[in-house]
């Protein structure tokens, strides 16, 4: 994984891209503010098609997924322009201070 400075830069770019994808929807204002970097551990397909490739760096909500379930995390799919509920075991969260956690 890149150093801390480049991680912050990558995080900023991904947040900007995600915000641009939904800029026309006011309910998304500030939606990505708390999102952190993560790495996806496997190819993931949804009904919308390929959402993530194994090893892809993405952004995710640092909180647990839908309904507070620790089994899932909400990860933004740049391909599909939507939050995607992904099994936590397939998401490596990269902490703000360089720590990695599941």
Query: Which DSSP category does 77 fall into?
Result: E
pTM of the predicted model as reported, rounded to 2 decimal places: 0.86
Instruction: Give the pLDDT score at 24.
Output: 97
Domain coverage including residue 72: 4-101
Q: How many domains does the chain have?
A: 1
Cα separation, 58 vs 65, whole angstroms: 15
Q: The domain that contains 30 carries what CATH number?
A: 2.30.30.40
Give average pLDDT by consecutive 10-residue segment, the chain, 102 residues: 80 97 97 96 96 98 79 95 95 67 48
Instruction: Give the pLDDT score at 2.
Output: 61
**CA 14 → CA 47, 64, 70, distances in Å?**
23, 20, 24
Instruction: Give the pLDDT score at 76.
Output: 98
Each residue of 43-66: pLDDT tens digit? 999 999 999 999 999 999 988 777
Instruction: Give the pLDDT score at 98.
Output: 42
């Amino acid at each position: 994984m890149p150093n801390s400075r480049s991680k912050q830069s990558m995080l900023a770019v991904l947040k900007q891209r995600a915000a641009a994808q939904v800029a026309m929807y006011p309910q998304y204002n500030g939606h990505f503010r708390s999102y952190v970097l993560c790495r996806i551990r496997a190819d993931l397909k949804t009904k919308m098609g390929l959402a993530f490739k194994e090893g892809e760096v993405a952004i995710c909500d640092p909180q647990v997924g839908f309904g507070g379930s620790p089994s899932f995390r909400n990860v933004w799919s740049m391909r599909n322009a939507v939050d995607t509920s992904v099994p936590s075991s397939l998401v490596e969260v990269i902490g703000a201070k360089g720590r990695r956690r599941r």
